[in-house]
Chain A
Amino acid sequence: MSDQRDLIGYDLEEALVNLGRALAPIAAPGLSAAVRRRVEVLPAPAPARPRWIDHLMVRPGRPLRRALVLAVIVLLVLAGLAAAIGFGLPGLRIVILGPDTTPSPVATATALSSMPAGSNASPTVAAMASPIPSLATIEALGLGDRVSLAELDTHVSYHPTLPSLAELGTPIGVYVLGAPAEARVSAAYAGTSAFPAAPGAPTASGIPVAILVMEFPGASPAGYLEKVLPPGTTIEAVTVAGQPGFWIAGAPHDLIYVRTDGSTEPDTTRLAGNVLAWTAGSLTYRIEGAPDLSAAMQIAISMY
């Protein structure tokens, strides 16, 4: 935002932002239901096409054999792709599978093997196909280097905040991944009576982890998290301390950390299917493992 004062006597850009915040919201409580009723009677939309498929698409004048090979690849890929649509917060991209999603392992494996280097769309396919591994320790989840709570600030150039909720206690493990300016901080909390660990949850120092709190710069060039939601997972727009966020609940889902160069790193963090994610300022926060939204909110609010 410019601090310069205009010839008109005030900062026009600032005044416009101010005006935008003073505008009355348009209440349209029945809008989403009305759209649902209208699309319910329509045929299911055609599957979305990731960008990299564009590169594979047949162009006029190409030799027929190549066209046929590409067409087969595209068909196989499309068979494995759902009507995937993505949206997200800065630093967190969420990909949702459509209602008729039944990715077949064969098709997704094909898609995976035909994934071009540098693609940032195809990790979606990889994540859909990957089975949930049973990981014994939280360290095996690729959260980065374990650091002590006392020295956390020395590893991160922004100021990470952790929950202050008494029921949660102090983290049993704190991890930092990446350079200080774009570091992702993860804090693992042991299961308690208020926040029990899920059966088979990964452990830190031999203790089952119930809650995993992560934060990272959302606008970071380091990339973003891509989340694939299988059928049975619900997503709800929520507000956390006035900031936009999502509550993703239901079946466990996979994460892929995608760098800006398109390379990916599987982020196999998973304690349970429930994640509260939101942004505040330039940071994105995620709380994983809370049994329900109100519990997740309790933890989130205690970070302020």
Chain B
Amino acid sequence: MAYEDLVRLYQAAALRTASLILSGEAEAEDAVQDAFVKAYNGLGRFRAGASFRPWILRIVANEARNRRRSAGRRVQLALRLAEDRPSDGAAPSPEAAVLARERRAALLGALTSLSHDDRLVLGYRYFLELGEEEMAEALGIPRGTVKSRLSRALGRLRIQIKAGPPITPFSDGEVPR
């Protein structure tokens, strides 16, 4: 097993994490690359048998935070919508597809206006779909505080949504179950 295989396994989650904090995909990729090298050096601190994912995500998030701090500017996130959303079943009409895209863009805009800590909490939960325990490890916080952190971040996102341009409600059928 080469370390490279491990990188391949977790790079998508790592890049998504970096993109919650940094602007530009190249910057996110650089941060992730550095984070994996740091993780390699720190493998001795990794608890064998523990889950690797939250451990590497925590290193990635720290690396991205440090880079952002040194950049010292407001960033446009590296997060962007896919050109064509993969089909989730029934193909939507062109109008519905445009509408759905606009709604997502507005939600993404609201998310971008949050602090990166809030974005990390929300991104871990809803984009990477981490469980409570993994979130706690990835965020470096006690497990008991994950729910309240998430709830506060959601609250602030709601405020941003209300402050921003109106978003047409999603229809139930849009979310694949």
Interface residues of B in 3-57 (CB under 8 A from A): 3-12, 15-16, 19, 25, 28-29, 32-33, 36-37, 40-53
Residues of B within 8 A of A58 (CB): none
**A236, closest chain B residue (CB):** B5
Asked whether A19 and B126 contact (CB < 8 A) given A13-B154, A32-B7, A99-B2, the answer is: yes
Binds B, one of A45-53, A64-72, A152-160: A45-53
Quick check: A28 and B9 within 8 Å, CB to CB? no
Residues of B within 8 A of A34 (CB): 33
**B1, closest chain A residue (CB):** A96
Residues of A within 8 A of B79 (CB): 23
Cβ of B152 under 8 Å from chain A:
no
**Secondary structure of the A contact surface, majority rule:** mixed
Quick check: B28 and A26 within 8 Å, CB to CB? yes
Question: Chain A contact residues (Cβ within 8 angstroms of B): what range?
Answer: 35 or more
Contact with B along A4-20 (1 / 0, CB 8 A): 00111111111111111
Cβ of A286 under 8 Å from chain B:
no
Bound-state Cα–Cα, A81 to B44, Å: 11
**B176, closest chain A residue (CB):** A21
Cβ of B71 under 8 Å from chain A:
no
Q: How far is the CB of B113 from chain A (nearest CB, A)?
A: 14
Cβ of A115 under 8 Å from chain B:
no
Cβ of A42 under 8 Å from chain B:
yes
Asked whether A86 and B107 contact (CB < 8 A) given A18-B175, A26-B19, the answer is: no
Asked whether A45 and B16 contact (CB < 8 A) given A28-B32, A237-B9, the answer is: no
Bound-state Cα–Cα, A42 to B42, Å: 12
Binds B, one of A162-170, A190-198, A226-234, A295-303: A226-234
Cβ of B99 under 8 Å from chain A:
no
**A84, closest chain B residue (CB):** B48
Residues of A within 8 A of B158 (CB): 6-8, 12
Query: B36, B45, B48, B157: which has the most chain A beta carbons within 10 Å?
Result: B48
Quick check: B37 and A39 within 8 Å, CB to CB? yes
Quick check: B47 and A15 within 8 Å, CB to CB? no
Quick check: A32 and B8 within 8 Å, CB to CB? yes
Told that A15-B103, A51-B50 touch, could you supply 15 new A-B pairs with CB distance under 8 A? A8-B161, A10-B170, A14-B170, A14-B175, A16-B127, A21-B86, A28-B25, A32-B4, A32-B7, A36-B7, A48-B48, A49-B45, A86-B52, A93-B49, A237-B8
